[in-house]
Amino acid sequence: MLKKLFYFVIAVGLLLVIAAGLFLTWGYYYITRDLPRLSTIEDYKPPAVSTVFAGDGTPIGEFYKERRYPIKLKDVPPMVRNAFIASEDASFYQHPGIDFWSILRAAYVNIERGEAKQGGSTITQQVVKNLLLSSEKKIQRKIKEAILAYQLEKRLSKDEIFEIYLNQIFFGNTAYGLKAAARSYFRKEVHELTLPEAALLAGLPKAPTRFSPILHAERAKRRQRYVLTQMVKAGFISRGEAEEALRQELRVYAAGAQNIFHAPFYVSEVRRLFQELWKDLNVDVDGLEIHTALDIVADEMAVRALRKGLREVDKRRGWRGPLGFIAGGDRQKFVEQYGAWPREALEEGVIYPALVIEVAMARGEAVVSLGDYTSVVNLKEASWARKRLDADERVFFMSPEQTLKVGDVIEVSLGTRAADGTSAKNGAVESPNVQKILVLDQTPLIEGALVLLNPYSGEVLAAVGGYSYQRSQFNRVTQSLRQPGSAFKPVVYLAAVDGFKFTPATIVYDSPRTFRVGAQLWTPGNFDEKYLGPITLRVALEKSRNLVSADIVSRIGVDAVIQYARKLGIQSRLGPNLSIALGSSEVTLLELTRAYGVFAAKGVLFDSVFVTKIVDRQGSVIYDYETEKLSKARQVINENSAFIMANLMKGVVEHGTGYRVREIGRPVAGKTGTSNEEMDTWFIGFTPQWACGVWVGFDVKKKIGEKETGGRVAAPIFLYMMRDFLKYKDEQNYAKLVEEAKAEAERLGIEYVAPEPLEPLDFSVPDGVDPFWVDKESGRLVSEGIPGAILEYFIKGTEPSKPLEEEQTPESYLESPDL
């Protein structure tokens, strides 16, 4: 009987073991039937920040979905690693991915306390959970996590797993990964972290919001103490080091939402170009290094020049009056609505709102408050504000002290006054003989844009697409199509010179004309409503005569002009009509400036280049403009014709509508442009090395003002920009020359002698061009020294050879249009 019972027990036991085995086998396969593939972790490429760099390597912007900067474990100091090991998984380098003792300890604590207070997850399990599984608290998910963690440890090394962990975890404060956390919280790189900083960061992954040092400082301190205690227990640091770390006060920073640090219009254009040119790359997740041609100094100069010029134009239009009104001059309400600025925080070139708290009409002064600063504004010195604009832009005249009252909110900026009190102006340099004051000012409503490029490479050094990126992110350099007016005339003249053998001395006719355009008649006029009669091509361009341009197009044909515009890189739609002669077809500022650059670059056209190099997260170069620059260069017009045009356009600056630019004091060529009703104003100019374009107007087209032409509105902005930029480049080039001279002197063992100052470059004369003295009015050959004689350049064989009365006129070789 006992024997039978024994066999029965054995049989039942075996059946139970088999059943348990089958159950466990079924359970294992049931749990693992839909396990995620570990290849996702093996090919770990988390979303990472793409950083945009200026030409000198300065970061100017970031694109990202998650702010993460992947870092190699070898670049993480041992002390920082140990902080995370001690905090999250002290036996990480000993267990096989699952720490059974930690699980049992956590289970005991949780049962004892009646709630889930501790978890037993290892670093490997956390990696699996974050990358492959959800965060749901179910036993099935925990089992999957454990299985995957064990499998992962068989496929990756401990260091590889730890590196993934440090790059993947979320720290709060917009930071994903250790490197982002160091930058966000402490504005440091990982290798610069101190022990207390590392301990603070190591305590965050458990609950980034709960232990945030920004939101919950005391709680974060307790968590830091816990991490330091665990480091002592693990033998990573001594108790004394822990206590010293706890005594240190840490300064933490809240991460800003700003992801553009410099040149916002430029950075936004870079982003747009990726959507157009590199569609297979995702700048928000790919972790790219994006190198650009931006010159930060040049871009800052461009911002200052554009803002200065727009303010000048806006003030000529008139003062629009106060921004608003606060009853009783209540300063507290002003601060709540407009903010407050202490005196030491005021910056030159910035416009601030100010509350009028007293008006002294007899003295012509207003006492104003900026919340934390009170000062006096001399209204009599703001003579521009006597011209007033009402809401409908009707003009009337009245002194500001006669209309201001307590409670008005006006705009002011920082200016200076000479020690004798005789003058005040914005932007003065610090000097013992001047004192800082507040002056009445006004934020311009008019918009503008400026672009600077290197015509010999196409690289865009600066692109400022408006008065303020905060006010409008619309980029008027690349996105705005506007009528160029007379700024398009160089294209017309190029077609005549390069394709139809016109010369600077060719006689053209500035006379009233009516042209037949199909069944319509078109009678253009000149801006000044005057006509000069027969003049040379040079004078016609310098004086920007509309009738001459229209006449040329009527003779050479609209198609020829469009063909040359395409050669110069103008891609916008051009209307096939005679009015193209006066710039009626809309173009962008960038493409027109690039077209002018062809004249500077001896007839060679380059694509406009913002991005110069793209490097992926592994350091491989995806794109490098240097390798394709030469293949991109296209000789689109004859070098001789390019020089003739540059020389003609020098005359526009020296003797014509661009005369305000003469102040630069070096060879500059360019052309002004004004569209109908003074709605768009332009100045595009170039030196032998640089091309710069300026546009000014309103986004919703309307008249800028009477006689507000390209020469008066846009040319001064070009002047402000290029005067400063060329000086900056001269200083750079001379400093390089000095450095080379010193190195040469040291190498040869001779005394260093300072090099001579660099002379500004002029446009070089090609071999196919010869100079001749001609009479500027008649265009005929004369002797040097004759009154009215100028040195003119001609493509070989096209120089005048007969007296004026024997010269052929354009009518003799081009069919005259219908009148």
Residue numbers annotated as active site: 88, 486
Task: Report the residue count for the chain.
Answer: 819
Token pair of 329, please?
A: 């001059």
Helices 158-168 and 123-132: angle between axes, nearest 10 degrees:
60
What are φ and ψ of residue 611, in 5° steps?
-90, 125
- Placement of tokens 């936004």 in the chain: 268
Contact between 448 and 440 under an 8 Å Cβ cutoff? The reply is: no
Token pair of 563, please?
A: 């063909």
* CA–CA dist 51, 288 (Å, integer): 6
- Cα R_g (the chain), whole angstroms: 37
What are φ and ψ of residue 372, in 5° steps?
-110, 10
Token pair of 408, please?
A: 């008005």
Contact between 583 and 575 under an 8 Å Cβ cutoff? The reply is: no
Contact between 164 and 127 under an 8 Å Cβ cutoff? The reply is: yes
Largest interatomic CA distance in the chain: 146
CA angle 790, 794, 800 (to 5 degrees): 75
Token pair of 499, please?
A: 């394709």
Exposed, middle or buried: residue 518 (CB in 10 Å: 0-12, 13-18, 19+)? exposed
C-alpha closest to that of 376 among 415, 348, 434, 326 = 415
Residues ≥6 apart with Cβ < 8 Å to 125: 97, 98, 145, 146, 149
Residues ≥6 apart with Cβ < 8 Å to 575: 584, 585
Token pair of 637, please?
A: 């017009």
* CA–CA dist 277, 625 (Å, integer): 13
* CA–CA dist 678, 670 (Å, integer): 19
Residues ≥6 apart with Cβ < 8 Å to 423: 381, 417
What are φ and ψ of residue 170, in 5° steps?
-95, 130
* CA–CA dist 27, 761 (Å, integer): 83
Residues ≥6 apart with Cβ < 8 Å to 296: 54, 56, 58, 60, 262, 263
Residues ≥6 apart with Cβ < 8 Å to 261: 59, 60, 61
Contact between 560 and 495 under an 8 Å Cβ cutoff? The reply is: yes
C-alpha closest to that of 125 among 100, 86, 98 = 98
* CA–CA dist 572, 684 (Å, integer): 17
- Placement of tokens 């254009």 in the chain: 269
Contact between 698 and 306 under an 8 Å Cβ cutoff? The reply is: no
